[in-house]
Amino acid sequence: MQHDEESGDHREAVPAEVHSAGPRKRPKPGERRVQILQALATMLEQPGADRVTTASLAAKLDVSEAALYRHFASKAQMFEGLIEFIEQSVFTLVNQVTERDGTGSEQAARIISLLVQFAEKNPGMTRVMVGDALVYENERLQNRMNQFFDKIESTLRQALRDAATAEGSATPTVDAQVRAAALTAFVVGRLQRYTRSGFRRMPSEHLEASVGLML
């Protein structure tokens, strides 16, 4: 899992099993939780992957299902951990964009770009973002991702309202609502196409020109 735009391997690093005599090396506090979430994200990266079960996740980590439940009360909590990572990572970057100088249109374009970059570098997370990985999970998880995109749209609307006002629009609020809704629908569609093409159709394809048409 990656928090920023730097590249790097975000797959799990499970400690090697110790077969020799002596005490078995135990993960540090919190380390196993991170390993579980990384393993879940990695399993979601497989194109056409079946629903991830706690049994398959435990097998990947070479631990028992009981060991998973020592760190998470349910699989829903594991997905909530991934969603928290998505929220923290994306909105940290969004806040950086909105705090910079630049027109509202420039800020909106950067926000769409960073969402696409995050998705391309974290394909397993993208399946969570668009809901593909949440189909058979607790409904509150999908509701939380809906709220994530509502917040993205609200941020875009604020930036674009300022831009419309600066451009002398007679109806800046309406103009901003329309553009923000279109941009949000566009980026969600790009992410859905990315996951449903087996991660072959990159969401960054002709991105600048496409966003330019809406701005």
DSSP 8-state assignment for residue 52: P
Distance CA 158, CA 24 (A): 54
Give tens-digit pLDDT for 91-104: 999 999 999 888 99
Q: If you average pLDDT over every residue of the chain, what do you get?
A: 87
Question: In the chain, what percentage of residues exceed pLDDT 90?
Answer: 75
- What is the identity of the amino acid at 21? A
Give me the long-range contacts of 134-143 (CB less than 8 A, separation at least 24).
Answer: 134/79, 135/51, 136/51, 137/75, 137/76, 137/79, 138/76, 138/79, 140/76, 141/76, 141/79, 141/80, 141/83
* Single-letter amino acid code for the residue at 58: A
Instruction: Write out pLDDT tens, residues 120-131.
Output: 999 999 999 999
Rg (CA), the chain: 20
Q: How far apart are CA 103 and CA 160, in angstroms?
A: 9
Q: What is the pLDDT of residue 26?
A: 64
Distance, in Å, from the CA atom of 108 to the CA atom of 99, rounded to the nearest integer, reads: 12
The per-residue pLDDT for range 150-203, each reduced to its tens digit, is 999 999 999 999 888 888 889 999 999 999 999 999 999 999 999 999 999 999
